[in-house]
Structure 1
Amino acid sequence: MLASEDILSFKSYQNRANLFVKEYLLADSLIPYTSVISGMLACKMVYELTQHIGSNYFKIYSNFSKIQRIEWNNRAISTIHAIFITSMSLYMVFCSNLFSDYQSTELITERSSSLSTFALGVSVGYFIADLGTILWFFPALGGYEYVIHHLFSLVAVAYAMLTGEGQLYTFMVLISETTTPGINLRWYLDVAGMKKSKAYLINGVVIFISWLVARILLFIYMFYHVYLHFDEVEQMHTFGQILVIVVPLVLSVMNLVWFAKIIKGLRKTLAKRQ
């Protein structure tokens, strides 16, 4: 009898929780705020979990300086975020019907959904948390190029989340986060003293290929897509038009500069192995 009452009580709480999520957390008017907070809380949770795992399961972690430990934890956060937002962006751009030219008569620059807005909100929460960390420990975790990158990304993603404008192009740009796990793994291999390992070489090749596809070729495709739908882009608010055109251009220049460094580093690594 007691077990039966416990089950009914559990189901009651479960139904209330589901109702709370549907009517409040996922209500259209509250999605931007709840998603941003969720993103920031997720960052905090991953940071604490990474710190715990590093302290208890990695001997090298105890030999790190304070800044190295912070960077170790911070890179774990950026890796988790990259996996999440890349998966969501690939789904939204290539799998979902939301931005399909044949599924809606609505302007492609004005299409959005609860799911797309929530995903962008989580990303905004990450950029706020990460930018705050970079500024707090500046320049230990990254120089001005990281600050500029995060500021542009934060403004563009937040605008798309709050207004619903240009979400397609925002997701296209966010696919570039697919290179982040490789970049972070390279840092982990470096601090672990594995620069001469085969894994380090393979990682360099993977970074080169993923950067070429996600941060060079995909941006070219995005600019071509903007060109094809420029009549719809022109109907966006002026600030939205600037974000759709200027932000990807600035990021493209930064991507090319970093790509040149990647090529130089890869050539140096290959030369040492000959």
Structure 2
Amino acid sequence: MDTVSELGTVFASFLICQVLFHFVSSWFSAKVSCFNDLSLEKKIDWNSRVVSTCHSLVVGVFSLYIFFFDEAAIADPLWGDSLLGNVNIAITTGYLISDLLLLILYWRAIGDIVYAVHHCTVLYACCLVLKEGILAYIGNFRLIAELSTPFVNQLWFFKTLKYSKSSKAYIINGVLMTVMFFIVRIADFNAVNFYLS
């Protein structure tokens, strides 16, 4: 993937995330009865989590496809130059820049030094993958972990909307969150260690 295409993908991802945050999430979320009653800080956090959920679903599913079916990445996990892998990393780069900007702009509502350091660290890794053309497969494998994020965000939505912890939706989400977290953040790393040994 050439530099212009990578930068275009990063910019498009950034722009889409900004539009989701500033326009789409607020418009869509206003249809949820309790959203309009939230404080400005909660609405900012809400919109940030909507964007996070959208990003995690896109890159998580894309990463699964790359992990199982992208021949360029599978053939050489270290040096393989995967077009799909680079697109997915570029999408994540755009999201991270967007979210980092939002963290800075809305520091009083959602700012957290740990998130800022996390975003900068992951941004560095993404830029390294895109610039050097290495580790696209491993980088995308790591993005599979994003598949647990929608459940974590949904838990926050339930808490914010004051759902009962004994409600069916709350319990189902909790079980799914635990299962997905184990599969995509714990079990998958053991599978890779087995595969690489």
Q: Under a length normalisation based on structure 1, what TM-score does the superposition of the two structures give?
A: 0.66
What pairs with 1:102-251 in structure 2 (closer than 5 Å)? Answer: 107-138=76-107, 140-141=109-110, 143-196=112-165, 197-225=167-195, 227-228=196-197
Paired amino acid for 2:180: S
What pairs with 1:258-269 in structure 2 (closer than 5 Å)? Answer: none
Partner of 2:59: 85
Measured after TM superposition, the shift of residue 109 of structure 1 is 1.1
1:103-124 CA distances to partner (integer Å, 9 max, x unpaired)? xxxx431112333222211110
Paired amino acid for 2:85: S
Moved over 4 A (4+): none
Partner of 1:250: none
Is the counterpart of residue 61 in structure 1 residue 30 in structure 2? Answer: no
CA distance in 2: counterparts of 1:221 and 1:132, whole angstroms: 35
Measured after TM superposition, the shift of residue 51 of structure 1 is 0.9
Q: Which has the higher contact order (CA 8 A, sep 6+)?
A: 2
CA distance in 1: counterparts of 2:122 and 2:193, whole angstroms: 17
CA distance in 2: counterparts of 1:129 and 1:108, whole angstroms: 28
Counterpart contact for 1:169–1:222, Cα < 8 Å? no
Change over 3 Å in CA distance of 1:222–1:133 after alignment to 2? farther
Measured after TM superposition, the shift of residue 49 of structure 1 is 0.7
CA distance in 1: counterparts of 2:77 and 2:26, whole angstroms: 43
Is the counterpart of residue 28 in structure 1 residue 2 in structure 2? Answer: yes
Over aligned residues, Cα RMSD in angstroms?
1.8
CA distance in 1: counterparts of 2:169 and 2:111, whole angstroms: 25
Paired amino acid for 1:222: V
Change over 3 Å in CA distance of 1:98–1:195 after alignment to 2? farther
Counterpart contact for 2:129–2:136, Cα < 8 Å? yes
CA distance in 1: counterparts of 2:5 and 2:82, whole angstroms: 10
1:28-55 CA distances to partner (integer Å, 9 max, x unpaired)? 2311110110110110221211111223
Q: Under a length normalisation based on structure 2, what TM-score does the superposition of the two structures give?
A: 0.90
1:7-35 CA distances to partner (integer Å, 9 max, x unpaired)? xxxxxxxxxxxxxxxxxxxx723111101
CA distance in 2: counterparts of 1:51 and 1:188, whole angstroms: 14
Paired amino acid for 1:181: P
Paired amino acid for 1:199: A
Which of structures 1 and 2 has the bigger CA Rg?
1
Is the counterpart of residue 49 in structure 1 residue 24 in structure 2? Answer: yes
CA distance in 1: counterparts of 2:102 and 2:40, whole angstroms: 14
CA distance in 2: counterparts of 1:100 and 1:113, whole angstroms: 9
Measured after TM superposition, the shift of residue 183 of structure 1 is 0.8
Counterpart contact for 1:46–1:77, Cα < 8 Å? yes
CA distance in 2: counterparts of 1:168 and 1:74, whole angstroms: 28
3-state DSSP class of the match of 1:109? coil
Change over 3 Å in CA distance of 1:167–1:51 after alignment to 2? same
Measured after TM superposition, the shift of residue 68 of structure 1 is 0.7
Counterpart contact for 2:152–2:177, Cα < 8 Å? yes
3-state DSSP class of the match of 1:108? coil
